[in-house]
Chain A
Amino acid sequence: MNKSKHLEEVIKTHQITKEKALLDKHIQKKNEVKDALEEKYGTDIYPPFNSGSYAKNTAINTKFDFDLVSPFKRNAFSSSGTLEQMYNDVYDFLYDKYKNEAEVKKQKVSIGMEFYADSDGDVIKIDVVPGRELNQDQYSDDENLNLYVYYKYGNFDAGSERIKTNVKTQINNIKDRATNEKDSIRKIIRLLKVWKNNKGNYPTKSFFLELITIKAFDNNEITGNLWEKLKVVLEFIRDNVTKENFTLKDPGNSSNDLADTLTTYEKQQLSSDMENMLNRIGENDENLKTYFPENQKFKEEVSNKNEYGTNSGIPIPPPKLNFG
């Protein structure tokens, strides 16, 4: 089995453009929500923007990350308003507006909206991330935002007043690397997302996987074919994530450490998952398919490449054969 060839197929069958219709629906819905927020909050809000994987060029078609960051002005909820008030106000607004067409729920730092399946059976998910500039009118200068932590998030406690970050820097950092090193970083990030998505409800954030991939590339000479590159990244995660001094700096705010978004146990689990995966693939190439499956929905196109196998020379039947 050619492992790199398989991985290329995995990426190909997970290309976001393959789900054009679903992607368009997401973009349309995202714009709708954006308009609704702008209409509701008027001059208290800067234009909301998408920060999900689509914006970062690392999306896969089995899970669309559409994170709509909504930057509020410092005094939007009065000069003494708290981040919690901001978070709840946005939640109340979205809940009232969409309760009949979506499930609206509070998440770690965002408000999740899962729209009920449409007539095609498609489900659209959009997360709204409310953030607030640090000082009145400062956002246009530094693009820094404070986020509200709704419930325990790795080592961040629930109700923490803030995670200060610069989402635009986050996006650009990853987008630049992913675009410039598309044959390596972008592909590996997409593969890791396929793996994570395949695991179900995995605690590691996509953002974490993006940063750790970049860190692995910065720390190692990564060459060779796609499988060889992936392998180095997997080994890097296995060997480093549980180290005591391991950090993943948020490019939007270097004092934020993404390593803190996982608990000690979750880090151990991530490391041992990497170890098991490397061992199983080492024992048998075919196991690669278990961790990185092709998107069956788009496999048919690939099946066009199937053909009856031939060998040179006269095919000879087995001398003696039994049928039942």
Chain B
Amino acid sequence: MLKVEEIGLSLEIEDMLLNSLLVEGKKHYPNEFGGFLIGNYSNNNKHLKLTDSILPTKYKSSRRNFERTTEGIEEQLKKMYYEKPSKFYVGEWHTHPNNSTIPSSTDISAIYTIVNMRDSCIKNPILLIIGYTKSQVDFGFYVYFNNKLYRYE
């Protein structure tokens, strides 16, 4: 389980799911790749369980940029929301090939875009960055909370 001590929020993700994201990401080497993170919160809303990922069907990517759209995934989102237990969109993930898991300014502004959407869909989006090289992998989980980005440890 990963935690942000300072704000008392936690998160969990199955190794299987995490590994599958890495595999998908590496398929696009040397370009970036990513998708939507799906999950649900515990009863007291202090713990987040990541359960699935939806991969975008329409996207553009290069070594230093990744742009995804929501085209063609709306149905899946709806279906998961009505499942029991309900699962929904909680954040985004993408890779940094040959680089660190530190969010770039574009990543930070993406997070601002999510929270500033008119019908603010989620208040505390998760950002997962997979930084990898041929021999190493690092996962950086972040949450936006009270105007700041916190990293889970």
Using CB atoms and an 8 Å cutoff, list the residues of chain A in contact with chain B: 300, 303-304, 306-311, 313-324
Docked-complex contact B6 and A303, CB < 8 angstroms:
yes
The count of chain B contact residues (Cβ–Cβ below 8 Å) is 44
Complex Cα distance, B104 from A309, in Å, reads 24
Residues of the B chain whose Cβ atoms lie less than 8 Å from the Cβ of A314:
77-78, 81, 88-89
* Chain A binding surface SS class: loop
Q: Find the A residue at minimum CB distance from B88.
A: A315
Docked-complex contact B117 and A318, CB < 8 angstroms:
yes
Docked-complex contact B123 and A308, CB < 8 angstroms:
yes
Q: Which of the listed residues A308, A310, A318, A320 has the most CB atoms from chain B within 10 Å of its own CB?
A: A308
Q: Find the B residue at minimum CB distance from A303.
A: B8
B58 to chain A, nearest CB (A): 9
Docked-complex contact B123 and A311, CB < 8 angstroms:
yes
Docked-complex contact B69 and A319, CB < 8 angstroms:
yes
* Chain B binding surface SS class: mixed
Cross-chain contact of A308 among B36, B41, B120 (Cβ < 8 A): B41
A321 to chain B, nearest CB (A): 5
- In the assembled complex, 5 residue pairs joining A and B whose CB atoms fall closer than 8 Å, in A order, are A307-B41, A307-B44, A309-B122, A316-B74, A321-B67
Complex Cα distance, B8 from A316, in Å, reads 26
Docked-complex contact B67 and A315, CB < 8 angstroms:
no
Docked-complex contact B46 and A307, CB < 8 angstroms:
yes
Docked-complex contact A311 and B122, CB < 8 angstroms:
yes
Residues of the B chain whose Cβ atoms lie less than 8 Å from the Cβ of A316:
70, 74, 77, 89, 119, 121
Do A306 and B65 contact each other (CB < 8 Å), given the known contacts A315-B90, A317-B121, A318-B113?
no
Residues of the A chain whose Cβ atoms lie less than 8 Å from the Cβ of B71:
319
A312 to chain B, nearest CB (A): 11
